[in-house]
Copies of this chain bind each other. A is one copy, B any other.
Amino acid sequence: MSLIAVGTMAFDAIETPFGKIDKIVGGSAVFVAYAASNFVKPVQQVSIIGYDFPKEELEELKKRGVQLDGVELVPDKKSFFWSGRYHEDMNSRDTLITDLNVLEDFNPKIPDTYQDAEFLMLGNLAPATQLSVIRQMKKRPKLIVMDTMNFWMEIALPDLEEVLKEVDLLMINDAEARQLSGQFSLVKAAKSILEMGPKYLIIKKGEHGALLFHGTNVFFAPALPLEDVFDPTGAGDTFAGGFVGHLAKTGDISFENMKRGIIVGSAMASFCVEKFGATRLKEITKEDIERRLQQFKELVNFEIELV
């Protein structure tokens, strides 16, 4: 089964309490691709890059089974650039710079070669852009997953509401779930969001794990307790990539299998935060992933007799 990943391919400059890096490859579609390609091939990338995006990075992605037919290269513009500084708790950050560059012109075209994809991951982009991708698919994918952010709730809510009606699963963080629903309780927020269209909702709580809601079912996956969170940039997208990669690998979109997907996503995210950008994701082996999944089992599974 193949997976389309729509999102940014960019440069980040990052400051954390542990260090600083002036320029490293980032962007939602990059993290999704590095995570998902461990589980499914091809990952069919849809993005836009400038003349400065490193050729070696594209080669590295290709080697991992990432197709780039849907990545537009703009020869006279720079790639999207984001710069941010994390606070000590690593859960909050200040955006220092956002240079849209090529992203201003992003009008994704789905190549014919992508038309059979059964899984579609829509990274955080303007809702209108996400909708245009969905409309270009001749056959509706088996599962459409989307990310979004507070910014779009503020400036493009009607568009966002329209996309929500078209997707199967929404993946946002706790603050965004509260903002979108106007509910403080995450359980109430989930109820209200599930009435907006998606049948599944994942609320990401960073170091506090993630919740999956579907009807009256709830599943909770913790984040792995780590000695150090070195750089959280891309952890949410890596989680998404692991999740949807696992679903695409197995072709099974049951609630039970989504539980496994969330654990896989959490495991991948736990690698991502160990080094700057996608550095760690490029190093890990199948065995590293297996070991980490085992750690998650030990972390949460328990046996209890009900008498």
Q: Does A140 contact B (CB under 8 A)?
A: no
Chain B residues in 8 Å Cβ range of A294: 306
State in angstroms the CA–CA spacing of A128 and B283 once bound together: 52
Docked-complex contact A263 and B299, CB < 8 angstroms: no
Most chain B CB within 10 A, of A185, A186, A296, is at: A185
Residues of B within 8 A of A264 (CB): 304
Shortest A137–chain B CB gap in Å is 30
A211 vs B187: C-alpha distance when bound (angstroms): 22
Chain B neighbourhood of A280, CB < 8 A: none
Name the B residues within 8 Å of A219 (CB-CB).
298-300, 302
Chain A positions near chain B (C-beta within 8 angstroms): 88-89, 184-188, 205, 208-209, 211, 217-222, 225-229, 256, 259-260, 263-264, 290, 293-294, 296-304, 306-307
Known contacts A184-B88, A220-B225; decide if A293 and B300 are in contact (CB<8 Å): no
Q: 6 additional contacts, CB 8 Å, given A188-B227, A259-B302, A300-B302?
A: A88-B184, A185-B227, A209-B209, A290-B306, A297-B304, A300-B301
Beta-carbon contact of A187 and B302 below 8 Å: no
Q: How close is A205's CB to chain B, nearest CB, in angstroms?
A: 7
CA–CA, A296 to B220, complex, Å?
Answer: 10
| A209 and B222 in contact, given A263-B304, A300-B301 (Cβ under 8 angstroms) | yes
Query: Counting chain B CB atoms within 10 Å of each CB, which of A209, A226, A301 scores highest?
Result: A301
Q: Which residue of B lies closest to A304 (CB)?
A: B260
Q: Which B residues are in CB contact (< 8 Å) with A307?
A: 290
Q: Which residues of B contact A302 (CB under 8 A)?
A: 219, 221, 256, 259-260, 263, 300-301
